[in-house]
Amino acid sequence: MKLEFGTKQLDAQPVLGIRSTTGMDKLAQSMGPLFGEVHGYILQNGQKPAGMPLAIYHSMEGGTVDVECAIPVALPMAGTDRIKACELPAGTAATVTHRGPYDNLGQTWSALTEWMKSQGLEAAGAPWEVYVTDPGTEPDQSQWRTDIFFPVR
């Protein structure tokens, strides 16, 4: 698969999310329940998601990842002690679309950061993945689409 890199101007986007620290080897199994909890909270409070679930990667040290499992909302709304209201930042982001299993995302991330270096772009915040394809409705992993956004300057 040929990757297409680019930059995109983004508007700020309100999201609700749960931040968690886990082992990289347990990341995939921990994300589903967190997304479910956030989704339920949004619906209980009279809103609907304004986009697909996303993961904001605050840090990855060794085998540990500090990740926020979030869902965009149309209007800012209050969170709780566990579910926090925040927003994805406005500004320029380097982007790429990954197609295929989540297990291969690391290769796409590496290619994106190499492309950023080649373009003289510096990281300017926590990057995130948007899970465009719902694995619950599309069992064929080769069809899964994940959009990656990395704020840059």
pLDDT in tens, 31-83: 999 999 999 999 999 999 999 999 999 998 888 999 999 999 999 999 999 99
Q: Is the pLDDT of residue 114 over 90?
A: yes
Percent of the chain with pLDDT over 90: 91
pLDDT of residue 121: 98
- Across the chain, mean pLDDT equals 95
CATH class, domain 6-151, is alpha beta
Instruction: Kindly report whether the global pTM for this prediction surpasses the value 0.85.
Output: yes
What three-state secondary structure class fits 78? coil
pLDDT of residue 127: 98
Give domain limits for the chain. Answer: 6-151
Q: What are the helix (H) ranges across the chain?
A: 27-44, 105-118
Q: Which residues of 70-107 are buried (b: 16+ CB within 10 A; e: fewer)?
A: bbbbeeeeebeeebbebebbeebbbbbbbbbebeeeee
